[in-house]
A and B are shown apart, each in its own frame.
Chain A
Amino acid sequence: MLTFISQIINGLNQSAVLLIATLGLLIIFGLMNVINMAHGEMIMVGAFVTYIATSILNIPFLIALVLSFVVTALFGALTEVTIIKKLYSKPTETILATYALSIILKEIARIIWPLSQNVNMPFPGTISLGGVIVPRYNIFVVIMAILLLTFTIIFFRFTKFGKKIGAITQNRQMTECLGIKTSTIDTLTFAYGAGLAGIAGCILAPTTGVSYDMGSTYLTDSFMTVVVGGVQSLIGAAFSSTIIGEGRTVLAGVSNDTWAKIMIFLAVIILIRFKPEGLFAKERR
């Protein structure tokens, strides 16, 4: 029983990691209809920023967290202005362009850091909750996931900026007619999405190490989470990452990691077959 409880608690950590890795993609994919194949590499950029900040410049981890957001967001803005802006309404070209970008970023990182690098654990140690041992860092990750989710929801639902994005998503031309500068909003939204990917990289860095190859693992998982949750739903992403994260950990507990992965993928395929719009689809006009 104790093991089962500890598996559930570990599952929370995996869900939180998944959610953090997904949020950035959800905004870029869900709100802007841009399939960002370089999402994984933006996570990598955030992770390398963290590595440079904490291991080389000895900056505290929490400041590195902010830095990784800022740097990746700036990088995202640059990408949007130079590449993505020309390609809205051309999904195939966007995929190719972002895929190319992902390769370029990965190989640059490989040339500079051929080996994977270490980021020190910022909150080492464990706490014991009635016999269940929980790493301190996991608690931090779960709290971060909740904070980021809440902030993003408030940002998009209750601020003027968020409402403008909503309007653009629904009807771009009409919004432009109303005198809203869609182009600036696009850039800022893309930058915010990229910045969230940067935060994901920062949070992953202490547990997985930082390497040029780290992005690809998370690209598939994030797309899966987005699709299961419903493409435009932040709450949906929270639910789907919890289901996938918990599902994987609990199933791994009773069988093993490989089977857990297979079963989760199978469940996702079945779900998409019967509910292609995801669990929390928004009504669209």
Chain B
Amino acid sequence: MKMKRIIALAASMVLMASLAGCGSTSSASAAKSSGSSDSSSDGDPIKVGVLFSATGSTAINEKTMTNACIMAFDEINAAGGINGRKIEYIHEDYASDPAKCTEKIKKLIEQDEVVATVGCCTSASRQATLTTLKDDDSLLIYPTYTEGEEIHPNVIYVGAMPNQQAVDFIPYLLQNIGKKVFLVGSDYVFPKTCNKEAKALIEQNGGEVVGEEYAPLGQTDFSTICNKIKQSGADLVYSTVVGESNVSFYKDYKQYGLNPETCPICTISIEESVLQAIGTEYSEGNYASMPYFSSLDAPASKEFVDKYNKKFNDGTVVTVLTESAYSSCYLLAEALKKVDDPTDTDALIKAFNGLEFDAPQGKIKVDDYNHCTWVYSRFAKIHDGKFDIIYSSDKAIRPEPWPAVLYPQYKDTNFMPDWDDPICYPQ
């Protein structure tokens, strides 16, 4: 009898632990770091929220985004702030847990009264903030590259939309590597939505999809998928596998006898942070597409990477997410400079339309209408554990939240439905 009770107890604990797995750690006291609190004579500081996890499973990416925000706001303050007023940033940790994200954005807006928040790293956490943003009429600047098919009036999307990563990349791959493509992704919304567009682009460019497989999030065994790739006779693998699973995926890929020389993995979802864990030998010869790589050979980029490494010696590395979070802060500062009253959210959102910034990746621009950002398209071949950039668009590419190749009906309306259309964002 006793044994049964213990098993029941154990089973329930394990279930609880796996549920809490994503954000099992809660930091009771949120780290409150305020940039120079001694307010200048010109007025009170403008409060801005920074909402990234410091603990839990996605902290691996979000730590570097928090760092980027600290760096950007410190620089902005050092350069005189916003029309004489300093920025005071308040960092909250949502512990990689979307439910906690809702709680924290509420706290930032209602208690701390921030004028806007830079934050969230995953679609799940972003979507957890939407209702609050609308009810409290506040603004979120979202830096991560994302799957699109959502435009919320209270969000500015600074990361790449899928078209910006795919429209140049896929034709290049089909022309230079081969026509038969195998799609692999993690089993959730980002890979599935991106692959929808990828399939359309592959067919449009005369390629052929020979297989499509999804692995559960956190999967560490890719033997079956590798077997299916082998059977399909694919020329290349188009990957949207995210996070740490990539380590097992790249290692299994070569371990099970697939060769990146003849059939490379071409991904739109790995960053420098995972690259070192894969190891040089297993990443060699594969391709990746991103608006920014920290290996970018441009003065602004080099200066950015140097500054970051000098300021934060904490084991994190600069990735596209770092760059994008940094740009998000600067875009927000520029928008704040344009408005008379920072607490007027409507005016602040309008100030973003057409806003430009010389980011480390080059000149980026928030779209005049659809709240997404014009970013560059770049791809790289991985060599010696680094991204060797082989293509760079000459200027930033237009974002298509509803990609034209799938939704021709929105082509003339800035690639999105009407603002009051219910499909515009999850209600």
Known: A3-B231, A103-B24, A216-B24. A277 touches B3 (CB 8 A): yes
A117 within 8 A of B: yes
Contact A276 B4 (CB under 8 A): yes
Which residues of the other chain, A, contact B13 by a CB distance below 8 angstroms?
35, 37, 95, 99
- What are the interface flags for B268-279 relative to A under an 8 Å C-beta threshold, 1 for contact and 0 otherwise? 000001101111
A188 within 8 A of B: no
Which residues of the other chain, A, contact B9 by a CB distance below 8 angstroms?
35, 91-92, 95
Contact A117 B3 (CB under 8 A): no
B221 within 8 A of A: yes
Which of A60-68, A142-150, A160-168, A253-261 participates in binding chain B? A253-261
Contact A207 B252 (CB under 8 A): yes
- What are the interface flags for B312-324 relative to A under an 8 Å C-beta threshold, 1 for contact and 0 otherwise? 0011110000000
Which of B78-86, B210-218, B365-373 participates in binding chain A? B210-218
Which of B38-46, B57-65, B332-340, B392-400 participates in binding chain A? B57-65
Contact of A208 among B10, B213, B214, B220 (CB under 8 A): B220
Contact A118 B3 (CB under 8 A): no
A121 within 8 A of B: yes
Contact B227 A10 (CB under 8 A): yes
Distance in angstroms between the alpha carbons of A281 and B190 in the assembled complex = 44
Known: A37-B13, A207-B248. A256 touches B227 (CB 8 A): no
B298 within 8 A of A: no
- What are the interface flags for A158-191 relative to B under an 8 Å C-beta threshold, 1 for contact and 0 otherwise? 0000000000000000000000000000000000
Q: Which of B10, B59, B317 is packed against the most chain A CB atoms within 10 Å?
A: B10
Distance in angstroms between the alpha carbons of A110 and B93 in the assembled complex = 15
B7 within 8 A of A: yes
Q: Return the chain A residue nearest B314 by Cβ.
A: A114
Contact A133 B256 (CB under 8 A): yes
Which residues of the other chain, A, contact B228 by a CB distance below 8 angstroms?
253
B406 within 8 A of A: no
Distance in angstroms between the alpha carbons of A219 and B24 in the assembled complex = 13
Number of contact residues on A: which range applies?
35 or more
- What are the interface flags for A212-227 relative to B under an 8 Å C-beta threshold, 1 for contact and 0 otherwise? 0110110110011001
Which residues of the other chain, B, contact A126 by a CB distance below 8 angstroms?
255-257
Cβ of B387 to closest chain A Cβ, rounded Å: 16
Q: Return the chain B residue nearest A227 by Cβ.
A: B7
B74 within 8 A of A: no
- What are the interface flags for B14-50 relative to A under an 8 Å C-beta threshold, 1 for contact and 0 otherwise? 1001100100110000000000000000000000000
B224 within 8 A of A: yes
Contact B10 A29 (CB under 8 A): yes
Contact A257 B215 (CB under 8 A): yes
Distance in angstroms between the alpha carbons of A248 and B223 in the assembled complex = 11
Contact B17 A99 (CB under 8 A): yes
Contact of A223 among B11, B218, B274 (CB under 8 A): B11
Contact A7 B276 (CB under 8 A): no
Known: A126-B255, A223-B14, A256-B213. A114 touches B279 (CB 8 A): no
Contact A231 B3 (CB under 8 A): yes
Contact B276 A14 (CB under 8 A): no
B251 within 8 A of A: yes
Contact B17 A14 (CB under 8 A): no
Which residues of the other chain, B, contact A137 by a CB distance below 8 angstroms?
255
Known: A116-B277, A118-B276, A231-B3. A217 touches B247 (CB 8 A): no
Cβ of B158 to closest chain A Cβ, rounded Å: 23
A249 within 8 A of B: yes
Which residues of the other chain, B, contact A214 by a CB distance below 8 angstroms?
244
Contact B215 A258 (CB under 8 A): yes
Contact B21 A216 (CB under 8 A): yes
Contact A120 B227 (CB under 8 A): no
Which residues of the other chain, B, contact A252 by a CB distance below 8 angstroms?
224
Contact of B256 among A3, A92, A135 (CB under 8 A): A135
A151 within 8 A of B: no
- What are the interface flags for A44-88 relative to B under an 8 Å C-beta threshold, 1 for contact and 0 otherwise? 000000000000000000000000000000000000000000000
Cβ of B368 to closest chain A Cβ, rounded Å: 38
Distance in angstroms between the alpha carbons of A135 and B218 in the assembled complex = 22
Contact of B315 among A107, A112, A121, A210 (CB under 8 A): A112
A–B complex contacts, Cβ < 8 Å, 28 sampled: A7-B227, A10-B227, A14-B223, A35-B9, A92-B9, A95-B10, A95-B13, A106-B25, A113-B315, A114-B59, A114-B60, A115-B274, A116-B277, A117-B277, A118-B247, A120-B281, A126-B257, A133-B256, A137-B255, A209-B248, A209-B251, A231-B3, A231-B7, A252-B224, A256-B213, A257-B187, A277-B3, A277-B4
Other than the given A115-B317, A116-B274, A256-B214, 15 more pairs (CB < 8 A) read: A35-B13, A114-B59, A115-B273, A116-B244, A117-B276, A120-B279, A121-B279, A204-B220, A207-B248, A217-B218, A227-B7, A249-B221, A249-B223, A258-B187, A258-B216
Q: Which 4 A-B pairs have the closest CB atoms?
A: A209-B247, A10-B223, A116-B277, A209-B277
